[in-house]
Amino acid sequence: MANKSQQVTVIVGGGHAAGALLAALLQGRYPHEVVLVGEEPHPPYQRPPLSKHYLAGEVEQESLYLKPRSLYDNAGYQLRLGVRVEQIDRDSKTVKLSDHSMIRYDHLVLATGSQVRRLTSPGAELKGIYYLHDIADADALREALVPGKRLVIVGGGFVGLEVAASAVKKGVSVTVLEAAERLMQRVTGPEMSAFFCARHRDAGVEVRLDTGVTGFETGDHGRVAGVRLANGDTVPADIVLVSIGVIPDTALAEAAGLACDGGILVDEFTRTDDPAILAIGDCTRHRNLFFEDRLRLESVANAVDQARTAAAILMGEDKPYDSVPWFWSNQYDIRLQMVGLSQGHDQRVMRGSPADKGFAVFYLRDGRVIAVDAVNLPIAFMVGKQLVQRRQAVSPDVLSDPHTDLKSLL
């Protein structure tokens, strides 16, 4: 692109949110200078396959990339990869990089994402203990997952369970340890938790609920040999995956004095309290018009929707971010699609049952649908998205009656 004006937009972080922002700027033919600074050596890529098809060895690394690098180059957008932004100086509007260079910005977009939560219990530094957040982690874990090895997964959330499904398929012996009384407790209702627990056990995964971890046993050569439990037991292990959630990466923003509270605080336009700085994706806690509360979400949908909102702001258009949150997960032949947030529901309604090819749970509050979890039943997810968006009141009998056409509710 010729004739660029002197305006410079700097994007900090090169994950899914940053990639979606670049894509939206490309699509809108954003004419200004854009520089993305990303710590990882890769152009922006998708993380979801890291615990699914990529871990299983079914797709190549290149297919994770959101766009081929040449597209950014052709548009004149600069990708500075393998470099960190170390500091933001808001007065001079410059960022300082780990290679000691400086870049001046007119607009700064923080897309620093999240970092995995780490265990600090005794033995947590042993070899053979893995985390899963980026391509390098997935490559290392994939190599370690050799048939016959014993993998113990600490944490029964999405990432842990997806890895369990991928690993058991490879012939690895898998145990999942979950501290809560059911799987995925933070994000789904008891029916879904029970369904997933049963499917994992059917597949040969040992699932232990109400099971806290206190530390790790040391084996030969500084390798982990087992996981120590709160009840005094030890579970033998060759490989351990710790997947106990993520923490928003707000260090840079906090050091620069931006308002943060469990995430960089942004409004529905992705604006921070500095007019020159936007923030998007996992690192933010945003004002959500839909939920009337500040929310922090860890999902692709949130990353791309906020990225599109930020792109609109950069291109001079104010389009608030007001999408209903949604999420998906794949485990075995199960496709789970979730929409809305089920916290605070006062009623759950099942449509179909786990014995059927597909089923769904509708979460209601005051008679209105606030969330839907659908298993192999995309229509419930799609209709649910509309019901949640409209806060529509629906009679539970209608939702559970297999003879009602869900589409007729709209």
Partner 1 sequence: MAKITFIEHNNIEHVAEFEAGTTLMQLAVTNAVPGIDGDCGGECACGTCHMIVDQQWFDKTGEIADDEEQMLSMTPERAGTSRLGCQVKITEAMDGMRVYLPEFQM
Ligand X SMILES: Cc1cc2nc3c(=O)[nH]c(=O)nc-3n(C[C@H](O)[C@H](O)[C@H](O)COP(=O)(O)OP(=O)(O)OC[C@H]3O[C@@H](n4cnc5c(N)ncnc54)[C@H](O)[C@@H]3O)c2cc1C
Tell which one of 26, 81, 180, 229 touches partner 1 (CB under 8 A).
26
* Nearest alpha-carbon partner for 229 in 217, 221, 220, 238: 217
Cα separation, 219 vs 51, in Å, equals 27
* Nearest alpha-carbon partner for 27 in 311, 288, 410: 311
Which 226-265 positions form the footprint of ligand X (CB under 6 A)? 249, 252
Dig out the tokens for 302 from the structure: 């949130």
Q: Which is nearer to partner 1, 271 or 308 (CB)?
A: 308
Dig out the tokens for 201 from the structure: 């056990």
Which 131-190 positions form the footprint of ligand X (CB under 6 A)? 132-133, 159
Does 377 help bind partner 1 (rule: CB under 8 A)? yes
The least distance separating ligand X from the CB of residue 183, rounded to whole angstroms, comes to: 16
The helix or strand, by DSSP H or E, that contains position 91, with its residue range, turns out to be none
Cβ neighbours around 198 below 10 Å, total = 12
Cα separation, 108 vs 106, in Å, equals 7
Does 383 help bind partner 1 (rule: CB under 8 A)? yes
DSSP state of 361: E
Does 301 help bind partner 1 (rule: CB under 8 A)? yes
The least distance separating partner 1 from the CB of residue 383, rounded to whole angstroms, comes to: 7
DSSP string, 92-160: TTEEEETTS-EEE-SEEEE---EEE----STTTTSBTEE--SSHHHHHHHHHH--TT-EEEEE--SHHH
The least distance separating ligand X from the CB of residue 42, rounded to whole angstroms, comes to: 8
112 binds, among partner 1, ligand X, none (CB under 5 to 8 A by kind): ligand X
Does 85 help bind ligand X (rule: CB under 6 A)? yes
Write the burial class of residue 47 (CB in 10 Å: 0-12 exposed, 13-18 middle, 19+ buried): buried
Tell which one of 7, 115, 330, 404 touches partner 1 (CB under 8 A).
330
The least distance separating ligand X from the CB of residue 39, rounded to whole angstroms, comes to: 4
132 binds, among partner 1, ligand X, none (CB under 5 to 8 A by kind): ligand X
Tell which one of 11, 16, 278, 342 touches ligand X (CB under 6 A).
16
* Bridge partners for 174 per DSSP: 151
Does 67 help bind partner 1 (rule: CB under 8 A)? yes
State residue 244 phi and psi, 5-degree precision: -120, 30
* Bridge partners for 116 per DSSP: 246
Does 304 help bind partner 1 (rule: CB under 8 A)? yes
Q: Which is nearer to partner 1, 48 or 155 (CB)?
A: 48
DSSP state of 275: T
The least distance separating ligand X from the CB of residue 37, rounded to whole angstroms, comes to: 5
Site for ligand X, rule CB under 6 A: 12-18, 37-40, 47-48, 50-51, 84-85, 111-114, 132-133, 159, 249, 252, 281-283, 298-301, 303, 327-329
Q: Which residues bind partner 1 (CB under 8 A)?
A: 23, 26-27, 46, 48-49, 63, 66-68, 71, 300-301, 304, 326, 328, 330, 335, 337, 376-379, 382-383, 386, 407
